[in-house]
Amino acid sequence: MHIHILGICGTFMGGIAAIAREAGHEVTGCDTAVYPPMSTQLKSQGIGLIEGFSPDQVELRPDLFVIGNVVARGNPLMEEILNRNLPYISGPQWLAENILREKWVLAVAGTHGKTTTSSMLAWILEYAGMAPGFLIGGIPQNFGSSARLGSSSFFVIEADEYDTAFFDKRSKFVHFRPRTAVLNNLEFDHADIFPNLAAIEQQFHHFIRVVPGNGLVVTNGRDPNLERVLMKGCWTPVERFGMDDGWQAQTLPDGEISIRFMGRFQGRLRWDLMGEHNRMNALAALAAARHAGVSIDAGISALAQFKNVKRRMEVLGIASNITVYDDFAHHPTAIRTTLDGLRLKTGASRIIAVLEPRSNTMKMGVWRDSLADSLAAADLVFCYAANLGWNAGEALAPLGQKVQTHESLEELIAAVAGAAQAGDQVLIMSNGGFGGIHEKLLQALSLKPLPVA
């Protein structure tokens, strides 16, 4: 089958492209605003990319057009597909019908931590020799790609609550029908499609409704929003993490992590990941892997070799003794936990936070009143304020003299480079390409003179 994917450079649709090609399908696709790592990954797999959505792409005559949720009515190629009554389908539905139907699906849902937990889970299964397929919204460094078909019946998927397509407003994850479902946490997000938290909780309830009775729901026992979801109805056994009567992780004086289940010691984990949020992610992955048949010992051994995901506290380089990190954080909770984790790692070193409020929810100003508090742990804060529907300077005013906002990317880079000193930790946070700031900033920092001893 020849499929042509509209919106192919999104992490989810790019993953579908890679899996479809591995399954033997001919794959082409189109998109705009292409940037690495997905564009690089697709080209390395020999998948043809077309810039833009020109209507003449129908002349490729694919058997099926696969539509990403970036595509809306008015898109010229989509309008041509509709006018000619050509066959089309959403990405999640294509994946469910063509790949997942015969699989043991392990799906990881939640507002935060989906990518990291999915990557941990896929790596645990791989370490245990189970050769899983996976589709993850980032690139796990243990694998080097965001998606693969796999050679077993197991498939790990990052289960996103965002809507499926312009013609299917259900959340993506209801298509996946997992046997093992992980619920990491639940907060209000995606204000462009959900009016309130209750609407998101309802979608999570729909997700739970399709988990079979012989499956397992692994849930964050500390999250009252998830408890409300379960109270709406659950027909599947439940294991909770973060609780004394479920899965628990405790950091020991020597830095190792003690893993317990139902009060019983399971093993000790030593790794390099920072923060309580990653300990919770690890518990969720261990529980889900255990349901699929992996021993706790094997799971802990796998996590000791876990290399995290690109753009999750990834060190991009060191210039003039200034370390630059890249992170995907774009929600106040994620920003706060990322900064807290970096503070624990670096101690008294100055942290310079560089933020692009890029998500639709951020641009709408939903989080403007909580943004300053989420950045409080940073010593200096630089915010890219272009294309916002609200005043970033006013929102961040509680941070006082340590904050700057800039609407020019070049001015922002110059300001960060000018303020940075040897020994500083520069944390760049965005869920997009941020105008290539990472390499530009490293270049600017490399030109700084080293301090005289």
Q: Which CATH superfamily is domain 102-303 in?
A: Mur-like, catalytic domain (3.40.1190.10)
Rounded Cα distance, 94 and 49, in Å: 20
* Ranges of each domain in the chain: 2-92, 102-303, 314-446
Instruction: Summarize pLDDT for 356-368 with one digit per residue, the tens.
Output: 988 877 877 787 8
- Residue-wise pLDDT for 391-447, tens only, equals 888 889 999 999 999 999 999 999 999 999 999 999 998 987 788 898 899 999 988
What pLDDT was estimated at residue 451?
A: 62
Residue 38: predicted pLDDT: 65
Average pLDDT over residues 14-40: 86
pLDDT at 273 over 90: no
Which CATH superfamily does the domain covering 314-446 fall into?
A: Mur ligase, C-terminal domain (3.90.190.20)
Residue-wise pLDDT tens digits, 116-147: 999 999 999 999 999 999 999 888 888 888 89
Provide the 3-class DSSP secondary structure of residue 370.
Answer: helix
Dist. CA 388–CA 359, nearest whole Å: 10
Fold of 2-92: Rossmann fold (3.40.50)
Is the pLDDT confidence value at 278 over 60?
A: yes
Tens of pLDDT along 179-201? Answer: 999 999 998 887 778 889 999 99
Displacement of CA 29 from its chain's centroid (Å) = 22
Helix/strand/coil for 102: coil
Max avg pLDDT among 27-36, 319-328, 331-340: 319-328
Over residues 316-333, the pLDDT tens digits come to: 899 999 999 998 877 888
Q: Which residues of 57-67 are buried (b: 16+ CB within 10 A; e: fewer)?
A: bbeeebebbbb
pLDDT in tens, 216-271: 999 999 999 999 999 999 999 999 999 989 999 998 888 889 999 999 999 999 98
- Where does the pLDDT of residue 342 fall: very low under 50, low under 70, confident under 90, or very high at 90 and above? confident
Say whether 136 sits in a helix, a strand or coil. coil
Interval 9-25 mean pLDDT: 92
**pLDDT, averaged across the chain:** 91
List the alpha helices (DSSP H) in 58-196: 76-83, 91-95, 114-127
The helix (run of H) or strand (run of E) holding residue 181 is strand 180-183
**Cα angle, residue 308 at apex, residues 27 and 412 outer, rounded to 5°:** 85
347 versus 183: the higher-pLDDT residue is: 183
pTM of the model: 0.81
Alpha helices, DSSP H, located in 103-191: 114-127
Over range 303-324, report the average pLDDT: 85
pLDDT value at residue 205 = 97
The Cα 229–Cα 220 span in angstroms is 12
Report whether the peptide linkage leading into residue 37 is cis, meaning its omega lies within 30 degrees of zero: yes
Residue 60 has pLDDT above 70, yes or no: yes
Q: What's residue 453's pLDDT?
A: 52
pLDDT of residue 35 exceeding 70, the answer is no
- pLDDT tens for each residue of 142-160: 888 889 999 999 999 999 9
What is the pLDDT, as a whole number, of residue 189?
80
What percent of the chain lies above the pLDDT cut of 70? Answer: 98
pLDDT level of residue 452 (50, 70, 90 thresholds): low
Same fold for the pair 2-92 and 102-303: no
Query: How many Cβ atoms sit within 10 Å of the Cβ of residue 250?
Result: 10
pLDDT at 36: 64
